[in-house]
A and B are shown apart, each in its own frame.
Chain A
Amino acid sequence: MKPFTYSRAASVEDAVAAASSGGRFIAGGTNLLDLMKLQIETPSHLIDVNHLELDRIERTPEGGLRIGAMVRNTALAAHPDVRRDYAVLSRALLAGASGQLRNKATTAGNLLQRTRCPYFYDTRMPCNKRKPGSGCGALKGGSRSLAIVGTSDACIAQHPSDMAVAMRVLDAAVDTVAADGTRRSIPIADFHLLPGDTPHIENQLKPGELITSVTLPNPLGGTHVYRKVRDRSSYAFALVSVAAVFDGQGGSRFAFGGIAPKPWRVAAADAAAAAGAGAVAQAALADARPTAQNAFKQQLVASTLTSLFRQKEARP
């Protein structure tokens, strides 16, 4: 690791003030420290946000759920309201990482975790995301795990989060505060950015902007399913994952992980549910541009949807 200084923020105001002079937030540390050890991330000052009172889960006046940025993944997955009303989120969280990691990983940190593209991790390789303008090692290299849709000629990295896929299907909003105190609420659909020719810019946050919570709208009811396909049956990132909610009145929603630079959701795919798994897959992947190595993911999306529809029939 490169040397850095460390401070503990006592309040949200404290944290954003420290960040405005160039500091970087650290929450669970499970992604940031991993990348700092490899000198992929090299912050000169760390602001510990673990002691901010952002660790609560509470109902909103409207009937939704506000999840503090520092709520640990374990606590969120186990929360009674989440298990009952937002089961797809519990399921997605529990499908990610390990018990130890989920005890540390936070809501905000999970949303902001960086790609698992192997070239991004290997500092001897070209990578436009790690080093803008250096080229993309994956495009003509090992791209099996990477994205098939939403990519660009500059970058085909996938977003690795399971949690974010469920939040996308639930239409969550990311609540933030900026250094000047301005608060805003960003729909998760707009929060993560596609790579275009600036793959190093991954989300809407401005420098020093702090995530304070994630808000879920009112419960949708119906049947919630999260299905994750990976190389091992546990403790591995998704090749393909699907979060689905069947609301019981004929309405369905689907969001996809492992296949795109952000949690992937397409209105036409939601609308195609009545026509079956194949139609949903086709609509979701209408703009797919896979490589020879990851073209298999198109079929995998379709077959994952087929088993997900079956799972739903079995447990309506």
Chain B
Amino acid sequence: MAPDHVTRRAVLQGGGAAMALPGVAGAETGAMLSPESNRGRDMSTVEFTVNGDRVQLQLDPRTTLLDALREHLQLTGTKKGCDHGQCGACTVLVEGQRINSCLTLAVMHEGDSVTTIEGLGTPKNLHPMQRAFVTHDGYQCGYCTPGQICSAVAVLGEIEAGIPSHATEDLEHVVLSDAELRERMSGNICRCAAYPNIIAAIREVAAGDEA
């Protein structure tokens, strides 16, 4: 393994998505700006739709979509785990596709339609995937859960659309299986290891969709 003087972060970066690193990367990203660092700089205006509402923001161009959602729109359901594309906690749907909101700039989303966990369902009116996560205990601490749920909703859409994955045996013929779900959900890390229950929850929603 790597010698001691290679930092933990460096090793994780090098290895890709080892696990979420809450708090390590945030400070130096510049995404959460101190007023000084922005003084005298151009702000950019961006307009997009979030959970059906049109919003217009004046932002430092460095602001990620994740920080725009959390810090500027107070939609704190979407979580920041690693801030480097490695954990999936920040997963949202943009134009119906799941992406890591930490690795994209808000200003790049002019005119886009964004759906966050708050837009999928509400406590009084849960989305079927949210309900299934509750039923199957698809979480412990819940930190990764909004990302897991957004990802899971998109995964079923991707299978429905016949998009293959690494687990697909015949590229022309995509069938839903536990192996498919595990592979497709691998971009969402759960430190509490709720994985089996997450798969059970997604399975239930998939079965309901077929019925």
Contact = CB atoms under 8 A, between A and B. Distances in A.
Contacts of A48: 107-108
Interface stretch (B11-19, B134-142, B201-209): B11-19
A100 B99 contact: yes
Given A100-B88, A142-B1, A118 B98 contact: no
Contacts of B193: none
B104 A33 contact: yes
B99 A6 contact: no
Contact of A122 (B7, B83, B155): B7
B119 interface: no
B1 A144 contact: yes
B158 A37 contact: no
A220 interface: no
B40 to A, nearest CB: 10
Range class of the B interface residue count: 35 or more
Contact of B2 (A28, A77, A87, A141): A141
A310 interface: no
B42 A5 contact: yes
A95 B166 contact: yes
Interface residues of A, number: 53
B175 interface: no
B163 interface: yes
Most central of B88, B105, B182 by chain A CB within 10 Å: B105
B104 A118 contact: no
Interface in A162-187: none
A104 interface: yes
Given A50-B108, A142-B6, A101 B164 contact: no
A235 interface: yes
Contacts of B78: none
A34 interface: yes
Interface string B157-168: 010011111101
Contacts of A2: 30
B6 A78 contact: no
B186 A104 contact: no
Contact of A100 (B105, B161, B187): B187
B61 interface: yes
Contacts of A142: 1-3, 6, 11
Interface string B1-37: 1110111011101111100000001001111000001
A46 B42 CA distance: 14
Contacts of A84: 172
Interface in A1-57: 1-6, 8, 26, 28-30, 33-34, 37-39, 46, 48, 50
A213 interface: no
B28 to A, nearest CB: 7
B25 A37 contact: yes
A104 B112 CA distance: 14
A237 B15 contact: yes
Given A77-B164, A144-B1, A4 B151 contact: no
A33 B103 contact: yes
B154 A104 contact: no
A87 B171 contact: yes
B6 A100 contact: no
B61 A94 contact: no
B183 A6 contact: no
A99 B2 contact: no
A116 B16 contact: yes
Contacts of B44: 6
A99 B14 contact: no
10 nearest CB pairs, A to B? A98-B187, A142-B2, A118-B14, A122-B10, A234-B186, A1-B30, A121-B13, A6-B61, A118-B10, A235-B186
Given A91-B166, A234-B186, A236-B17, 18 more contacts: A1-B31, A6-B44, A8-B110, A34-B84, A37-B25, A37-B84, A78-B161, A78-B163, A90-B164, A100-B88, A100-B151, A103-B97, A118-B10, A122-B9, A124-B7, A142-B3, A234-B183, A235-B187
6 contacts: A94-B166, A98-B188, A100-B85, A118-B6, A122-B9, A141-B2
Interface of A: 1-6, 8, 26, 28-30, 33-34, 37-39, 46, 48, 50, 74, 77-78, 83-84, 87, 90-91, 94-95, 97-101, 103-104, 116-119, 121-122, 124-125, 141-142, 144-145, 231, 234-237
